[in-house]
Amino acid sequence: MTASSPHTSPRPTLLGLFLIFSRIGLTSFGGGLSGWLLREFVQDRGWISEEDFLNGLAISQALPGINVKNMAIWIGHRLFGWRGAALAVAGVLVPPAFVIVVLGSVVGALILHPLTQVLIAGAAAAATGLSLSMGVVTARRVRRQGLPLLLMAATFLAIGILRLPLVWVVLIGGSLSVFCEYVAIRRGAR
């Protein structure tokens, strides 16, 4: 089953699952958590098959929710049912949640000083570049066709410029878009 992996650990445990997710949560900076998950669970330990992992990844990305949390639920559920899912999510979120609150308090104290205020504004500017680049990268993956491009532009306009409530924009734009794709796929199938 997992014989191809040379580092297969004897068997997963609940505590081990929690600790691996904590470690990934605490040591991953700026995204890319899925890559670490693949390495820890598929390549290093062989607790999950690669096909299973990739199916989970597809679901995590297609459905709403933070990708890594979705992956934690998928992997945890595969290994230990609902207890595994709960512990995996706790592992990947709770320890970094403490870190961000501490970091936020430190920055909140520093921002009173003019010099650190400039430094924080500079870091915020660079972080905005990070956000812009994610936008550009996802936009590049959109099919170069009239309707998808139009829907992308309309979503940007509605949320970024007109500041309309997001939930309604996604419900209306998303169902329209999915419906059109569904019709297109059905037509293509015939």
Q: Which of residues 32-71 bind another protein (CB under 8 A)?
A: 33, 55-56, 58-70
And the tokens for 19? Answer: 């600790």
In the list 15, 19, 109, 180, the residue contacting another protein (rule: CB under 8 A) is 180
Where does this chain touch another protein (CB under 8 A) — which range of 8-16, 41-49, 114-122?
A: 114-122
Measured from the CB atom, the residue of 15 and 97 that comes closer to another protein is: 97
Measured from the CB atom, the residue of 13 and 138 that comes closer to another protein is: 138
Note whether 12 binds another protein by CB under 8 A. no
Number of residues that bind another protein (CB under 8 A): 99
Measured from the CB atom, the residue of 10 and 64 that comes closer to another protein is: 64
Interatomic CA distance for residues 140 and 99, integer angstroms: 34
Where does this chain touch another protein (CB under 8 A) — which range of 9-17, 35-43, 146-154?
A: 146-154
Number of neighbours of residue 80 by Cβ within 10 angstroms: 17
Q: Give the contacts of 139 (CB within 8 A, at least 6 positions apart).
A: 152
Output Rg (C-alpha) for the chain, integer angstroms: 21
> Min. distance of Cβ 43 from another protein in angstroms?
21
For 48, the 3-state DSSP assignment is coil
Q: Give the contacts of 25 (CB within 8 A, at least 6 positions apart).
A: 33, 91, 92, 93, 95, 96
